[in-house]
Chains A and B, each alone.
Chain A
Amino acid sequence: MKRLASILIPTLMLTVAPAAHAVEYKTVQADKSRLSFGYRQMGVAMDGRFSRFTVQLAFDPARPAAARAVMEVELASIDAGSAEANDEVAGKEWFNSKAFPVARFVADAVKPLGGNRYEVHGKLTIKGHTQAVVAPATLTPQAGAAAFDGAFQIKRADFAIGEGAWADFGTVANEISIKFHILASAGK
């Protein structure tokens, strides 16, 4: 009995004690969050963003292993730089947004890298194709909230984004960099 207690109590303290002080960031402030992307077109750096996306988040810095995050991006909300480009990327060869209106990222592990840095592992699904992605992210606590900033790269060909004539990377490069800034307030 004594032995069991000597194991149990420290273990309980380890798991419970941080939780007592911990905040869990849960409520994402959509208007203060940003999802943008960058790519090269004929050697020219271009950028764009999505204006409508939702994030379901539960992140306690003290318990990164228990973190959950699901992001859904409404592809029709893209701003790819010009009205002409926005119409184009909705088409079948690009996002085919009619058939696949939403891109989804589901985090399945968050690894602490020390300090405020983390590595988010997850699955990204676009246009019916799913790929594993790893996104380094930093957490910046603010009054009652925290900002998650991170960036990662995908290859558009992995998701069949830009088929047919666009499949050649000579005009639009294969690499697409994605940047996110997510502001979430602490829930109880």
Chain B
Amino acid sequence: MNTRSYTPFAKLLHWAMALLILGLFVVGFLMHDLPLSPWKLKVYSWHKWAGVTAFLLVLARLAWRLGHRPPELPEAIPRATRALAHAGHGLLYLLMIAVPLSGWLMSSAKGFQTVYFGLLPIPDLLAKNKELGDLLHEVHESLNLLVVALVVAHVAAALKHHFVDRDDILVRMLPGRKPS
């Protein structure tokens, strides 16, 4: 079974974003418990800058994807499973937008504006409001937990395709293989 591969640009964006998002998770979950210090303030800023970068990347990725359909999933995969895969990918895209948006809104509500790389101030859409800030923190956290669950399932599915089904679903996303 040999299907077309993802284009190199699609692969690049997928893996760059996968790494970035995994990094954001780890940093995000660890940084809250740091004692207040210059280091903590730096880490928070880096998290926010990287998060905004992820947001810009997913916009670019979606814009690019509109004109570049990904390779079809092979017919051998049951229709319902294919639908599930598409739904899962769609949800991942949605969350890649919703998570940074919630982070940005939370920061505004907590009274900490986001200034991209310390240079470009991103306007605050919300005024400072502690209750709303705490609520948006919950939102950011819950959405992230949802992403974690989905990514675990996503990775498990990719590995199952490779090692159990022995098809090339994983391989066609791996770097190095030319689209055919």
Please determine whether A81 and B112 come into contact, CB atoms closer than 8 angstroms.
Answer: yes
- Chain A interface mostly helix, strand, loop or mixed? mixed
- Chain B interface mostly helix, strand, loop or mixed? mixed
Asked whether A171 and B118 contact (CB < 8 A) given A42-B45, A44-B112, A82-B111, the answer is: no
Please determine whether B119 and A43 come into contact, CB atoms closer than 8 angstroms.
Answer: yes
Q: Is B140 positioned at the interface, with any CB of A under 8 Å from its CB? A: no
Please determine whether B110 and A42 come into contact, CB atoms closer than 8 angstroms.
Answer: no
A29-61 contacts to B (CB < 8 Å): 41-46
- Size bracket of the A interface: 10 to 19
Please determine whether B41 and A42 come into contact, CB atoms closer than 8 angstroms.
Answer: yes
- Size bracket of the B interface: 10 to 19
Q: Is B148 positioned at the interface, with any CB of A under 8 Å from its CB? A: no
Q: A29: shortest Cβ distance to chain B, in Å? A: 26
- Contacting chain B: which of A2-10, A138-146, A162-170? A162-170
Chain A residues with CB below 8 A from B44, complex form = 42
Chain A residues with CB below 8 A from B5, complex form = none
- 26 A–B pairs (Cβ distance < 8 Å), ordered by A: A41-B41, A42-B41, A42-B42, A42-B44, A42-B45, A43-B45, A43-B115, A43-B119, A44-B113, A44-B114, A44-B115, A45-B113, A46-B112, A81-B111, A81-B112, A84-B36, A85-B36, A88-B36, A165-B38, A165-B39, A166-B38, A168-B38, A170-B38, A171-B38, A172-B38, A172-B41
Q: Which residues of A contact B (CB under 8 A)?
A: 41-46, 81-82, 84-85, 88, 165-166, 168, 170-172
